[in-house]
Amino acid sequence: MKYLFAAAVLVAGSFASFSAANAAGGCGPGWHRGPYGGCQPNRGRVVVVERPAPVVVVRPVGRVCPYGFVWAYGRCRPV
């Protein structure tokens, strides 16, 4: 029972350390630290920076069209 309680305290403590306020310097989303360390609201537009999505390249594997046809202009056409 001691180990279960210790594990529960450890998990609860680790989840308590993660919050949105930590990411914004302790001020919270929409706020930032000023020149003297106080929290100030963000002015202007809110900019969200995200990672660009990876580029997906799709290419056909093997033969696409039956024999006697060739892939041209987006579909199989006779030779």
Count of domains forming the chain: 1
Rounded distance between C-alpha atoms, residue 26 and residue 17, angstroms: 12
Q: What is the pLDDT of residue 15?
A: 58
In a domain, 69, yes or no: no
pLDDT at 32 over 70: yes
Q: What is the pLDDT of residue 58?
A: 74
Among residues 31, 14, 15, 11, the alpha carbon closest in space to that of 23 is found at 31
In a domain, 35, yes or no: yes
What number is the average pLDDT over the span 12-30?
Answer: 62
User: Which H helix or E strand runs over 71?
Assistant: strand 69-72
In tens, the pLDDT along 37-76 reads 888 888 766 666 667 778 887 765 677 788 899 888 888 9
In a domain, 40, yes or no: yes
Instruction: List the domain range (segments joined by +) for residue 30.
Output: 20-48
In a domain, 67, yes or no: no
